[in-house]
Every structure is written in C-alpha cells, then in structure tokens.
Amino acid sequence: MNEGQTANHEQAINKQKIEQWFDNFKMMLEATLGLRRWMKTTLKHVKVTQLDWSTNISLSNAAHTATLTGFAWALKSTIIGFLSYHISLRQRPKLFVVPKFGASPAFVSELQCTARIRLGYAVYALFIFVFRILRENKGLRKWLKILAKSKSAKSKKSPPDSHDTSRA
C-alpha cells in the first residue's frame, strides 16, 4: 500500500496536497485563455443526480468537538450553496455532520457524487478547452509542465508494486 492511501485505495488529503492543487490551478489559469469563463459555461451543463456527504468529527474536548461540528455545517452549507449556483442539483444533497463525543481525535469525511453531462457537449467543451490552451501564449508548454510536475510528484510517492505484473 502506498503512503497516503487507506486499505480501500482512498487518498489522504493534507495541507501540502491542497497547496499543490492551488498552485497547479493558478498555473492552469495562466496557461488557458478564459479558463474561468470556460469552467462556468461547462459546469452549467453538469447535472448532479446524487450528492451524499458525511463527516465524523471527534476531538478530546467536547466543547471543541461541538464548535468544530458547527463550523463543518457552515462550511458544507456554503460549499453546497456555491455548487448549486454553478451546477444543476437534480436531487437535494444529503449532508451529515456527526460529532463523536468522548472519542479519540479524528476527522473523517466521505463524499459520494454522481454527475451527468451529455457526451456531445463534453466533446465540444474539450475542443474549446484545447483551442483556448493553444491560443494562450506558450499555453501548451505551460500545460505540459503542469502535467509533468504532477506525474513526477505521483511517481516519487508511489513506487511500482513488486507484485505488479503489468509493467513487466
């Protein structure tokens, strides 16, 4: 099992990973002409048919657990409100925040989402996306740099499995 993964192949998210995603997104904005507008237009065609988000929170102090639970509710509600403005939610999201009082400190969040987009529009959006990259000054070079950086970060963290026969 690779570092940062659990038994069912989920990846742990930490501060460093979030900072890396943010840096990559900033680079993508610079490498793509009108990326924000393209994202808004494309997201309007996405239809979310299921959104279940459960979070379990536990701290050693019950008062801190209660405060963090309230903060989690506020944060989740804000995120869902933002999403509902940009995408079509076909079903009411199921949100849960479960405080665990008297337990060892833990934070577990599980998100299950099913979304749909028409294949024809997805192909059209991809065409427009590539066109915007090519129109930006050195856009393709910047994107290749982002992808190479991402690939090298993954290869450093996950050495090939000794039992993997597909790479032989």
Please give the structure tokens belonging to residue 26: 């900033």
Distance CA 65, CA 97 (A): 11
Q: What pairs with residue 97 in β-bridges?
A: 55
pLDDT class of 2 with cuts at 50, 70, 90: very low
In tens, the pLDDT along 117-161 reads 999 999 999 999 888 888 888 778 888 887 887 777 666 665 555
Instruction: Identify the three-state secondary structure at position 82.
Output: helix
What is the residue extent of each domain of the chain?
A: 36-117, 118-154
In tens, the pLDDT along 26-57 reads 888 777 778 888 889 999 999 999 999 999 99
- Segment 96-121 mean pLDDT: 93
Distance CA 123, CA 157 (A): 33
Distance CA 10, CA 26 (A): 25
Neighbours of 70 (CB within 10 A): 12
CB neighbours of 21 closer than 8 A, spacing ≥ 6? none
Cα separation of the two ends of the chain:
19
At residue 13, does pLDDT exceed 80? no
Q: Within the chain, where are the H helices?
A: 15-31, 35-43, 62-86, 119-135, 139-157
- Do 134 and 44 touch, CB atoms closer than 8 A? no
Distance CA 125, CA 33 (A): 14
Distance CA 103, CA 58 (A): 6
- State the pLDDT at residue 3: 44
What average pLDDT does the structure give for the chain? 82
Distance CA 49, CA 89 (A): 6
